[in-house]
Amino acid sequence: MSHPSSSRGRGSRNRDDGDGYREASGVGGGDAAERQIKVGVGELAVATDGETLTTSGLGSCVAVALGDERAGVRGLLHAMLPTSDEGRTAAARRGKYVDAGIDALVDDLVAAGAAPDRLEARVAGGAEMLDLTDAVGPRNVERAERCLASAGVPVVASDVGDDVGRTVRFGRDGGLVVRAADGFERTL
């Protein structure tokens, strides 16, 4: 079962209500091991019943996968930009920004039963898709690393940078499968 933000209580939704939090009861039916929760751009989700969390379209965006293996709680963030502008929509779209998204995901994981000191992170994405002097991808990765360090969450594996897009699957075994657009696949 996946869980919404602790501020709304528990329940199941199959849509994004604009706050950047997507929850799904599963795609394709079957048992939890077969169900998937699709995390869109600027969204985050938590899984507690063995569902696979997936996201695609990672170019300069960054995926942050957090898990507490002992509690069986995992979460995935697909963030677009490094930092929220305090005066704008960070609260309304928590997953859009790396900093606000990591904070929200940690809060949601703890509300679902994770222990903050047992969380581990895997990070993917942050490619330099365009030749820009102020490329967003590397800034997303750097911000994710700083926010995770500040939260006391170790990054145990990463697949970041380069100039190739990625798709990720965060399974019940805690492994983050990263498939690059060039066909290369590996598990973090």
Q: Write down the pLDDT at residue 133.
A: 61
What letter would DSSP give residue 6? Answer: T
Query: With bands split at pLDDT 50, 70 and 90, how would you rate the model's confidence at 92?
Result: low
Instruction: Name residues whose C-beta falls within 8 Å of residue 47's C-beta, 6 or more positions apart in sequence.
Output: 2, 37, 53, 73, 74, 75, 170, 172
Q: Answer yes or no: are the C-beta atoms of 64 and 76 closer than 8 Å.
A: yes
What span, in angstroms and rounded, lies between the C-alpha atoms of 45 and 29?
Answer: 18
Tokens 């900093």 — which residue?
A: 99
Query: How confident is the prediction for the chain on average, in pLDDT?
Result: 82
**pLDDT at residue 32 tops 80:** no
CA–CA distance, 108 with 4 (Å, rounded to integer)? 7
Confidence category of residue 170, pLDDT binned at 50, 70, 90: very high
Residue-wise pLDDT tens digits, 110-152: 999 999 999 999 999 999 877 766 789 999 999 999 999 999 9
Domains located in the chain, CATH noted: 32-187 (3.30.1330.200)
Residues in the chain: 188
For residue range 68-80, list pLDDT tens digits in order: 999 999 999 999 9
Q: Which of 24, 47, 61, 124 is catalytic?
A: 61
DSSP state of 2: B
Best CA proximity match to 84, nearest among 75, 93, 73, 72: 93
* Total-model pTM: 0.81
Overall average pLDDT of the 14-38 stretch: 52
Q: Which residue has the higher pLDDT, 99 or 28?
A: 99
Name beta bridge partners: 40.
none
Is 147 part of the annotated catalytic residue set? no
Q: For residue 132, which amino acid is it?
A: L
Distance CA 135, CA 182 (A): 21
